[in-house]
Amino acid sequence: MSGNEKKELGDYQTPLEFCARVCGYVKRHVFEAPSAVLEPTCGIGNFLLAASRTFDCENLYGIEINRAYARQAREAVPSAKLTVSNIFDVDTRRIMWGDRALIIGNPPWATNANLIYNLPRKANFKGLRGIDALTGASNFDICEYILLKLLAEYKHTDSTICMLCKTSVARNVLLELSRNRIPYEKAEILTFNSREVFGVSAAACVFVVKLSAANTPDTRILCTVKNFDGLELEDTLFVEDGKIQTSRAAVDLEGRCQMTWRQGVKHDCGGVMELESCENGFRNKRNEVVEIEKALVFPLVKSSHLKQPVIQNFKKYVIVTQTEPRQDTSYIQTEYPLTWKYLNAHLEDFNRRKSVIYKKSAPFAMFGIGAYSFTPYKVALSGFYKKPLFSLLYASKPVMTDDTVYYLAFEDYDLAYSMMLLLNSDTVQSFLQSIAFLDNKRPYTVKLLSRMDLSKCIGAVSFHELQRVEQALKLPKRITSQQYIKFEQYIKSLQSPPRTATRTGAQPARTD
């Protein structure tokens, strides 16, 4: 199998020694005698072979889409019953006997967007609405889909699901376990070094869920996190009301943010839309000198730029074609003819944009745009950084951010400056790091930031702490008690947004 084919199948075969370790752990710490063992994407059958050697169980089953792999699995474990099929086309309860089953294995580590084979029928399986279902939020991990399928098939039994997966997938499944009130006895995340096992860099774990036919379902889930090597307790996850929080101590700032967190502009045409200043005006990413009107050109901040608490000098710029969602862009032709000529000269680049959100949009359309985009001050942070640094952004024109940046919008400098200090305080930082998962590609998202109650934040952070933050960030002394009182009154005046509120025209919050 070629490298591309392996990627298309999400194919990483688990070494037999590691399979034996996992089976040994299940026997010692979960249950000794499963009525049957199923490896749902069995590959060459290493988990089946390890299970046959570990458990006193004759009922071994495997499902595999690759016929060559299935032949190897049959040779390795002749007693196993192999089904050659796509796992998504098989009701595993129909091919396997027993309610004390062990479902064990290593499903594909890839998203639906990256796979060609081994895919379920396309479905909005998390019930996403509107634009969320059309953009990146609808991408999901194939392993996650398989785990949810197995939970649905084996709920209300005394079976155990034990899968190798990314830790972000395990946490998503815990949320679904809670949301669907599936009875369980035990949940564990056992972290391991994926580079040593598979030669790939990913935050990975052995995810164990021991289901229950008897326990009363509960929406609150407790999951221990241990290191698989030494089995030391690393953390405890608490899952309730669609949220996950760790046991790391922090002041309780949990709630609903009274301001709306925004995500920056999305255009998917960086080679044309993003510019740098030069002697003759602007230059695009292709090193072409660009002659256009300056009216539609705005300062741009990307995640990698957010390294200072206050930023007011910019090297990057972006062309902003709309001021509100779904705006007709034909006005550019008459009002800004040079810009219109430039955009049309690169029309093919815009036509190659893959996302369906552009299909019925105006030419050169953008997303994540609205009145909030043009406020004079923003307090922003990168979704990528492990330690959140909130930066105050402003210039002679409104500053735009890309869609990897999240921000609050302000009309008043003093309020924006005070918010930057508040969010960089140890109290708020500690809370954010207690609810974020640093192994995610984006530890901080709109969804996570929206859990921060600003009234609780200002109640927990004194004026003197803001002074200490200012000093720690090496900023000139600017915050005054009068500004603090003004800011405190502003926070108290804010009303929590209604639960049904959505961000018109903005991009959805991404979980990983």
| Vertex 84: Cα angle to 81 and 90 (nearest 5) | 90
End-to-end CA distance of the chain: 29
Please say whether the beta carbons of 384 and 403 come within 8 A: no
Q: Is the model's pLDDT at 124 over the cut of 80?
A: no
In 198-256, at which residue ranges do the beta strands (DSSP E only) sit?
203-211, 221-227, 233-240, 243-246
Both 155 and 225 in one domain: the answer is yes
pLDDT tier, 5 (very low <50, low <70, confident <90, very high otherwise): very low
- Binning pLDDT at 50, 70 and 90, where does residue 294 land? very high
Instruction: Tell me which residue range forms the domain holding 193.
Output: 3-246
Same domain, 279 and 364: yes
Give yes or no for residue 341 having a pLDDT over 70.
yes
Handedness of CA 313, 314, 320, 325 (dihedral sign): negative
Q: What is the rounded CA–CA span in Å between residue 131 and residue 359?
A: 13
Does residue 241 sit in the same domain as residue 300? Answer: no
Question: Is residue 201 assigned to a domain?
Answer: yes
Number of helical (H) and strand (E) elements in the chain, helices listed first: 18, 21
Question: Count of CB atoms within 10 A of residue 194's CB?
Answer: 19
Do residue 158 and residue 199 come from a single domain?
yes
**CA-to-CA distance for 9 and 114, rounded, in angstroms?**
9
Q: What is the mean pLDDT of the chain?
A: 87
Q: Is residue 509 part of a domain?
A: no
Residue 157 · residue 99 · CB < 8 Å: yes
pLDDT at residue 28 tops 90: yes
Does the pTM surpass 0.95? The reply is no
Within a domain: 137: yes
Q: Where do we find the tokens 């499944």? A: 173
| Mean pLDDT, range 148-167, rounded to an integer | 94
In a domain, 504, yes or no: no
Tokens of 175: 């949320």
Q: Are residues 338 and 369 in the same domain?
A: yes
Instruction: Answer whether residue 214 is part of any domain.
Output: yes
Query: What dihedral do alpha carbons 44, 9, 229, 72 form, nearest 10°?
Result: 0
**What's the pLDDT score for residue 140?**
54
For residue 433, pLDDT beyond 90: no
Q: Which of 219, 246, 273 is the last residue of a domain?
A: 246
Q: Which tokens sit at 216?
A: 């009363």
Amino acid identity for residue 201 in this structure = S
What pLDDT was estimated at residue 385?
87
Within a domain: residue 500? Answer: no
Tell whether 76 is covered by a domain.
yes
> Quick one: 341 and 484 in the same domain?
yes
Whether 276 and 405 map to the same domain: the answer is: yes
**193 & 297 share domain:** no
Cα atoms in the 13 Å half-sphere on the side-chain side of 488: 14
What's the pLDDT at 201? 82
Q: Cα–Cα distances in Å, from 391 out to 57, 253, 271? A: 59, 21, 26
Number of domains forming the structure of the chain: 2
pLDDT at 109: 83
Q: Which has the closest alpha carbon to 399: 432, 422, 377?
A: 377
Distance CA 436, CA 377 (A): 26
Q: How far apart are CA 300 and CA 274, in angstroms?
A: 8
- pLDDT digit string (tens) for 56-98? 898 999 999 999 999 999 999 999 999 999 999 999 988 887 7
User: Does residue 20 sit in the same domain as residue 128?
Assistant: yes
pLDDT of residue 85: 93
CA distance linking residue 440 with residue 224, whole number of Å? 18
> Beta-carbon neighbour count of residue 115 at 10 Å?
15
422 and 478 part of one domain: yes
pLDDT tens digits, 465-503: 999 999 999 999 999 999 999 999 999 999 765 443 333
With the C-alpha atoms ordered 201, 507, 134, 323, is the resulting torsion angle positive or negative? negative
| Phi/psi of residue 71, nearest 5 degrees | -65, -40
The CATH number covering residue 152 comes to 3.40.50.150
Q: Using the CB atoms, write b or e for 172-193: b if 16+ within 10 Å.
A: bbbbbbbeeebbbebbbbbbbe
Residue 108 CA to residue 92 CA, distance in Å, equals 17
Whether the predicted pLDDT of 415 surpasses 90 = yes
pLDDT given for residue 278 in this prediction = 86
C-alpha pair distances (Å), 401 with each of 48, 189, 301, 315, 364: 50, 36, 5, 13, 18
Report the run of H or E that residue 37 belongs to, with start and end: strand 36-39
Contact 172, 191 (CB under 8 A): no
* Stretch 401-411: mean pLDDT: 96
Distance in angstroms (rounded) separating the CA atoms of residues 136 and 140: 9
Are 271 and 242 in a shared domain?
no
Contact 502, 132 (CB under 8 A): no
User: Quick check: 51 and 60 in contact, CB under 8 A?
Assistant: yes
The DSSP secondary-structure symbol of 309 reads S
pLDDT at 318 > cutoff 50: yes
Q: What is the pLDDT of residue 496?
A: 61
| Residue finishing a domain among 184, 214, 246 | 246
In a domain, 384, yes or no: yes
Enter the tokens of residue 166.
């990314």
pLDDT over threshold 90, residue 227? yes
- Same domain? For 13 and 66 the reply is yes
Strand 36-39 relative to strand 101-105, pairing: parallel
